[in-house]
Amino acid sequence: MDIDLRNLQAEQLNKAEQHYAEHGFILLSGLEDVITAKFRPVLAERLGVDESEMPKILDESNSSVILPPDVRRRLGRVDTPRPFGQSLLDVLEPLLTRLIGPLVHVSSNFHAQFKGLGAKEVDHGGYPADAEHMEVHGPYLLHQDFAGASIPTSPSAVTLWVAMNSCPFWNLRLYPGSHRLGLLCNRWLSLEDRRLASLGDPIDVQARVGSAVLFNALMLHGTSNPGPLQRVSCDIRFFPLCGFLPSEVHFLGASPSDTLRAGLDRTFDPVLRAPLLEDQVFLDEEIGLNGVAPLSVLNWAKYVSLLSHGENDKALPYLEQFVNTQIGFDAVTAYSSKFHNQPVNERMLRSVRERFIASADAASKSRQSEGSSRAIS
């Protein structure tokens, strides 16, 4: 499904929300001025060039260019300037509010990728010195952003994959619906792995300037169709309120409290409900979640809820039944060993809770004032 951000009405939002819940991704267009252009000066600064040089750098014919090691290192983790992150939120707010709720972390850094030469495939999420940061050029093997991470974040996060140029090669490969199958792989997988047949047919998305993809953190994805031209892309992540992250939390909309309650009242789809329940957990609210089905993303909400009450032993079974042991590729211990018993950032959460209560109080007073004005008139 392709959503044009230049014509984002309520009907399109409803369709986008349902498509995302079922398939795990949304194709976006109409981004040239409002999203794509915002990345160029940030990349230029990171590359150490004037922005006027970016068209030449982004030229698809630069497939044989190998960037110097220090540049590759910088591009592997591009710091997210606060004004830049806020500008993305301003554009994406209607979608993000529907997909992950009104409380949002923007990832503190993002990846810039220059695919186009025979670099070794990337089968890890790190940047070891002996690889000279060649992941900037190397195609990614298949992985789930949440499952393959070294620290717990949120399985309901979304990644925005932005095409910085147009190229028919080095496609983004997605397995639609894989986000509903639980934790599939801690290890990164070859695109030729025979076990992938049980997941159904993937789709390949070509890079096209002015387009992007929003996809779920449990979506199995990677790089396909290598070729002789250069593909340049950037990917940045947005998280619902997450106690494991130290970064700033942005409040979307005039009344995040009202938006959160309305979202919980509107949807019972696990994919759309899970991030709102995570918000509640980290706001220190009860979620009353019982009878969670195996593999459901709601297992994570229940897991962090019990952790927040110090019931670590009771929490672990929910993490374990979130792991797909039937068609998955790694044992339960691959996840419990790195995710279980991780501490939360209490200082950050206290601050967010105070802001949230103040915001709710202000919204309530505003409604009362409007009601009084209408009564007088």
User: Quick one: pLDDT at residue 375?
Assistant: 58
User: Quick one: pLDDT at residue 127?
Assistant: 44
Q: Is residue 372 part of a domain?
A: no
Phi and psi (nearest 5°) for 183? -80, 110
Q: Mind giving me the DSSP string for 16-71?
A: HHHHHHHHSEEEEE--IIIIIHHHHHHHHHHHTS-GGGHHHHT-TT-TT----HHH
Distance CA 374, CA 338 (A): 56
Name which of 20-34, 126-140, 284-298 the model is least confident about. Answer: 126-140
Q: Is residue 233 part of a domain?
A: yes
Q: Which of 240, 265, 283 is the last residue of a domain?
A: 240
Q: Which of 192, 215, 240 is the last residue of a domain?
A: 240
- Residues 249-260, buried b or exposed e (16+ Cβ, 10 A)? bbbbbebbbbbb
* Assessment of whether the complete model's pTM goes beyond 0.85: yes
Distance CA 348, CA 330 (A): 33
Residues 260, 211 within the same domain: no
Name which of 232-236, 311-315, 361-365 the model is least confident about. Answer: 361-365
CB count in 10 Å sphere of residue 316: 18
Residues 34, 135 within the same domain: yes
Q: Is residue 374 part of a domain?
A: no
Q: Is residue 373 part of a domain?
A: no
Distance CA 142, CA 330 (A): 14
Q: Is residue 326 part of a domain?
A: yes
Q: How many domains, the chain?
A: 2
Residues 171, 33 within the same domain: yes
User: Quick one: pLDDT at residue 90?
Assistant: 96
Domain that holds residue 353: 255-362
Residues 211, 285 within the same domain: no
pLDDT band at residue 126 under the 50/70/90 scheme: very low
Q: Is residue 375 part of a domain?
A: no
* 145-165: average pLDDT: 96
User: In this structure, what token pair is assigned to residue 341?
Assistant: 């018993």
Residues 307, 229 within the same domain: no
Distance CA 47, CA 283 (A): 40
Residues 20, 55 within the same domain: yes
Structure confidence by residue, pLDDT tens digits, 9-52: 999 999 999 999 999 999 999 999 999 999 999 999 999 999 99
User: In this structure, what token pair is assigned to residue 105?
Assistant: 């972390």
pLDDT band at residue 131 under the 50/70/90 scheme: low
* 196-218: average pLDDT: 97
CATH code at 194? 2.60.120.620
Pairing of strands 167-174, 221-224: antiparallel
- pLDDT at position 105 over 90: yes
- pLDDT at position 284 over 70: yes
Residues 135, 278 within the same domain: no
User: Quick one: pLDDT at residue 335?
Assistant: 96
- pLDDT at position 365 over 60: yes
pLDDT band at residue 376 under the 50/70/90 scheme: low
- The sign of the torsion formed by the CA atoms of 153, 110, 218, 104 equals positive
Tell me the residue type at 361: D
Determine contact, residues 177/71, Cβ cutoff 8 Å: no
User: Quick one: pLDDT at residue 278?
Assistant: 98
Name which of 68-77, 226-235, 243-252 the model is least confident about. Answer: 68-77
Residues 234, 271 within the same domain: no
Residues 77, 183 within the same domain: yes
Cα distances (angstroms) measured from residue 287 to each of 273, 280, 311, 321, 345? 11, 7, 15, 19, 20
